[in-house]
Amino acid sequence: MNFEILATCPVTGARAGLLHTAHGTIETPVFMPVGTQATVKGVLQRDLAGELDARIILANTYHLFLRPGADLIKNLGGLHKFMSWDRAILTDSGGFQVFSLSDRCKISDEGVLFHSHLNGDAHLFTPQSTIDAQLAFGSDIAMVLDECPPYPVTHEVARAAMLRTVQWAGIGYSHYLEQEAPDTAVFPIVQGSMFEDLRAECALRLQELDAPGYAIGGLSVGEPREISLEIAAFTAGLLPCAKPRYAMGVGTPKELAEHVARGVDMMDCVMPSRNARNGYLFTGSGRVIIKQARYRDDQGPVDADCGCYTCRTFSRAYLRHLFQAGEMLFSTLATIHNLRHYLDRMRGLRAAILDGTFPAFLTTVQALPA
Ligand SMILES: [Zn+2]
């Protein structure tokens, strides 16, 4: 993997670049649609690549490790072949889901022992085993196992989790280097909850690994959004300029711009796809809650400024009908629109960085409705 910065906004520090992976080049800043179970829910791979032109998607190690299993995916030729997706894939370490989904988990220096939320079976995730699983998938970008504490936590608890994250990153990264997997890049994750001193210590120590990119974890765990943004900005500023910075699990359409303005290059969030399935559609003039009676006979598109298949083809009235009738087509059409909204927003930010108009563009975006 190789990262090239093409332009940096002199006012804000926002960057536009190219991330070259074994499965294609990704224009940054980039939003990565979430494909938890090796599928972006409701969207065909054909449309992800064609209609949406997503260059990279995210899949979840925890879910795929439990079902169908890393060995099975490896034996079937890896995750790209298994899901028929020849563009880039980033997988998380599984740490976040272990802490949020599994029934019981017990953390030790060795790793985290947990019980599957599917059938209660006990499993142990270690820094080495989560790298092995991601190498079995053939991920283009893999993450090291981290300990992601909830919010709020005491400084003492956050410090212990941060130190364990640093220790696991060292073990996981050394293990990865021994495997000779040139097509997979591994990113460590900066933790430290909302404490700047812990974030600073973590970022500094992880840089000793000289990894090709760094992630900012521990966000979107229940903290107020302003704090989330502040701590992401603080952490991004501690990371090496020449390497991609990935803010995990953010954000709203407006927050994308705020993170980009603070030098973040990569983001992912379930919000566009989850909100779509629940009938919340993002537009340039605010959110459309499709079940509202006002859309019952509305012949206009969801967003007149959007060029997606859904907006080119269907009326708000039809989409509302599909939603009210519980038709599965609604989820597909709504997800296509919301993802296109996110991807177009990111492409607009990138274009503004490249042509030197980012500060003005940011002001325009900040003035948009939430
Ligand atoms: Zn649309």
Cis peptide before 244 (omega within 30 of 0): no
Mean pLDDT calculated for residue range 209-232: 95
With DSSP H G I counted as helix, E B as strand and the rest as coil, what are the percentages for the chain, rounded to 5? 45, 20, 40
- For residue 92, indicate whether it is catalytic: yes
Ligand 1 centre from 310 Cα, in Å?
5
Average pLDDT, the chain: 96
- Distance between terminal CA atoms of the chain? 35
What is the per-residue pLDDT for 289?
Answer: 98
What is the per-residue pLDDT for 98?
Answer: 87
> Per residue in 166-205, pLDDT tens?
999 999 999 999 999 999 999 999 999 999 999 999 999 9
Ligand 1 centre from 311 Cα, in Å?
4
Ligand 1 centre from 345 Cα, in Å?
12
Ligand 1 centre from 288 Cα, in Å?
12
Q: Give the span between the Cα atoms of 307 and 242, in whole angstroms.
A: 34
Q: Which residues have a Cβ under 8 Å from the Cβ of 119 and sit 6 or more positions away?
A: none
Residues 150/194, Cβ–Cβ less than 8 Å: no
Ligand 1 centre from 260 Cα, in Å?
23
Q: Which of 132, 268, 303, 344 is catalytic?
A: 268
Q: What is the dihedral of CA 254, 310, 87, 259, to 10 degrees?
A: 0
Residues 277/246, Cβ–Cβ less than 8 Å: no
Q: What percentage of the chain reaches a pLDDT higher than 70?
A: 100
Ligand 1 centre from 319 Cα, in Å?
12
Banded pLDDT at 101 (limits 50, 70, 90) = confident
Ligand 1 centre from 271 Cα, in Å?
16
Ligand 1 centre from 333 Cα, in Å?
9
What is the per-residue pLDDT for 27?
Answer: 98
Strand order in the sheet with 24-28: 2-8, 15-21, 24-28
Place of tokens 């099975």: 72
What is the per-residue pLDDT for 100?
Answer: 82
Ligand 1 centre from 215 Cα, in Å?
30
Q: Which residues have a Cβ under 8 Å from the Cβ of 226 and sit 6 or more positions away?
A: none
What is the per-residue pLDDT for 107?
Answer: 92
Name residue 276's beta-bridge partners: none
Q: Give the span between the Cα atoms of 48 and 332, in whole angstroms.
A: 11
Mean pLDDT calculated for residue range 118-133: 95
| pLDDT of 22 strictly over 90 | yes
What are 285's two structure tokens?
Answer: 């003039």
Q: Which of 92, 140, 303, 344 is catalytic?
A: 92
Q: What percentage of the chain reaches a pLDDT higher than 90?
A: 93
> Per residue in 34-65, pLDDT tens?
999 999 999 999 999 999 999 999 999 999 99
> Per residue in 264-287, pLDDT tens?
999 999 999 999 999 999 999 999
What is the per-residue pLDDT for 99?
Answer: 83
| pLDDT of 113 strictly over 90 | yes
Ligand 1 centre from 336 Cα, in Å?
7
| pLDDT of 95 strictly over 90 | no
For residue 208, how many other CB atoms are within 10 A of its CB? 12
| pLDDT of 102 strictly over 80 | no
> Per residue in 288-320, pLDDT tens?
999 999 999 999 999 999 999 999 999 999 999
Ligand 1 centre from 342 Cα, in Å?
10
What is the per-residue pLDDT for 165?
Answer: 97
